Amino acid sequence: MHKNMTDEEIKEVMKQTAKLAGLDLSNERIEADLSSMKRHLDAIDAVAEVNLKLESEPVPTFRLEKES
């Protein structure tokens, strides 16, 4: 999704999203957070690429325990 967006477009989305949340982010803060936002968007794309059927059951919660 975001792969077709320029850095300037992503920064504008960040600024507008912050405004919706009632925040006023400075250009310096947006610039500093840009690489993190791009990694976050990459992670969202990776999850979206997983081909799961709507009928798939969610994985139950489990706990890993150390072997003695």
Measured distance CA(20)–CA(32) in Å, rounded: 20
By C-alpha distance, which of 42, 46, 22, 45 is closest to 34? 42
Residue 17 contacts residue 37 (beta carbons within 8 Å): no
User: What pLDDT score was predicted for residue 1?
Assistant: 60
Measured distance CA(13)–CA(22) in Å, rounded: 14
This prediction's pTM: 0.69
User: What pLDDT score was predicted for residue 67?
Assistant: 76
User: What pLDDT score was predicted for residue 58?
Assistant: 77
Structural element, H or E, at residue 13 = helix 7-20
List pLDDT tens digits, range 2-56. 788 999 999 999 999 999 999 999 999 999 999 999 999 999 998 888 887 778 7
Tally of residues, the chain:
68
